[in-house]
Every structure is written in structure tokens, then in C-alpha cells.
Structure 1
Amino acid sequence: METAFLHTPLGIAKIEGDTHGISSISILDEAPERSSDIPEELEDAVYQLKEYFEGSRQEFDLELNPQGTEFQRKVWEALRTIPFGQQISYLDLSKRLGDVKAIRAVAAANGKNPIWIVIPCHRVLGSNGDLVGYAGGLHRKKWLLNHESPAKQVSLFPN
């Protein structure tokens, strides 16, 4: 398994994978002391994530290899169909998967998504539109949704 780190506006992205694909992208507050070399197997992922944060990429074209149960992988695949700049609710996602009663299981699988941003679990909201259930922190979810919004929110007050 190879590892690379990428500085992003939200922290350090830790990218893991091999010749079979990307198995994990997670967000860290600090990068461990590691080489800054990017393994060949991860170069495309690093490049595409940079483009995403620069605002020039809306879709990812990467070989993914997330590890999870059959149900989790089914949910993660459904997440990949949510278009850039759009959001759906957990209930809508459950409906897409064919079982409204599976909403809790769908939410749990969403929370175990191992591939940050590329599998866009940040695009799933509570039924009332609330920002809920984001492992990377709600401040990051809010930032990502704003980043993908066609109408960027601006603050009237400087930080």
C-alpha cells in the first residue's frame, strides 16, 4: 500500500492505494513526518484532488478500491451518482437504493465512506436540509458544499 499527502484548504489529505486503485482518502489536521515524494500509483489522485480544490474539476476519473461490505459498496456507488453542486437527503438516497426503511443503514454506510470527496458523502443532508453526520467535521462539509455551489456564499464580515 502506497501513501501520499496533499495540503488542501481543509487540512492534509492522506491518500492510500496501490495498482488496484485508491482504497482510502482521509483528512488530517497535521501530516506525519513522511517523504514528500508521490508514489506513481497515487499521482493521478493527487493531481485530480488539486484540480478539485482549484475549482477546475467537478468529476473524478480514478480507479477506486474501497474495502467494505457489499451493502456499503452499494451505498458508496450510489453516492458517486450525486452530481457536483447538488445535494440529496438520506431518505432520497435510501429511495434510490430501493429501500426507504434502510435509511439508518444507508446513513451508517455513508459515515464509513473511506474515500473522502471522491465518493461525495458530503452531498448528503438531513431530510430538513440540515448539515448532519460528517466524519470530517461539519465545518468541512459546509466548506465543501460552498465550494461546489454555483452561487458562492460570501461573508459581509472579514475573519
Structure 2
Amino acid sequence: MDRLPARTRRDRHGRGLRGRLVPPTVPLSRSRAEQFDDLVLDAVEDLERRWERELAGVEFAVEDVPWVDHTSPDEVVLDADVLEDGSVPLARVLPAHREGGKEHPARIVVYRRPLEIRAADRDDLADLVRDVVVDQVAVLLGRDPEEIDPTA
């Protein structure tokens, strides 16, 4: 018995999928998440120039939203290592620790969506990201935020 050829999926006008609407060299082609990553990297690079020795080995990460353990909602506690606005975490410091015989470096996690929601525009978001990163570095190093970044 002969099989029919597999049908290809096309839109109803027969054009199929189209290419990108914006060339990859234009800033508009980058996603909001990629643009946010760039803001965090800019803030971190500036601080690493001044605090190179103290920040050696510190990992910086971006997550879309804070992780919540839904299996025990009564157990959700915001520790001193969490920067929050109201009850919404904006960033978190995870100190270096040893677990299962493996060394884990200190880590600063910045949450993208809560910060984007609080910013009026891109410039406001850049300022907010910088303030949050400076605050978390200050917590990690046990210093005042004004000492970490006098311009803040």
C-alpha cells in the first residue's frame, strides 16, 4: 500500500513562515531578557573594576521570577539575604558554602520580572538594576552601599 506524502504546514495564503522583521544588528532585535542581562552585566562590570579582589569568584545570575516552594507555602520565609519590595523578592545573596563535599561560590541572583514591573522606562530600569546589584554586593561584603558605589 502506498503512503501519501506528509503534508507541509503553511499558512492559508501559502507563504509559509517569514523571516525576522528586524535585522539582528538592530538593538530592537534583542529580547527583553537579553536587554536586562546586559543591564546587570554593565552594573557588575563597573563594580568589579573597583572591587576586583573582593568579587573574585562571585557568581551573578538572573532569574525571571523568584522560586517559591509550593509544597509548603507556610514555610516561605524571606531571609536577611533577600532584598524585597513589600513581600516581593527583587534579589538574593547566597553566600559561599560547602554541600556534599562540593564547594559552591557566593552568588547574587537578580530577579528580572519584579524589577521590570517597578521601572517606568529603560533608564529607570537601569538605575534600579544598578541600585539592587550595589545593595546585594554590599550585603555580601558586609559594607555600606554608599561605600560600594559612592555615586548611588
TM-score, length of structure 1 as denominator length: 0.24
Larger radius of gyration: 2
TM-score, length of structure 2 as denominator length: 0.25
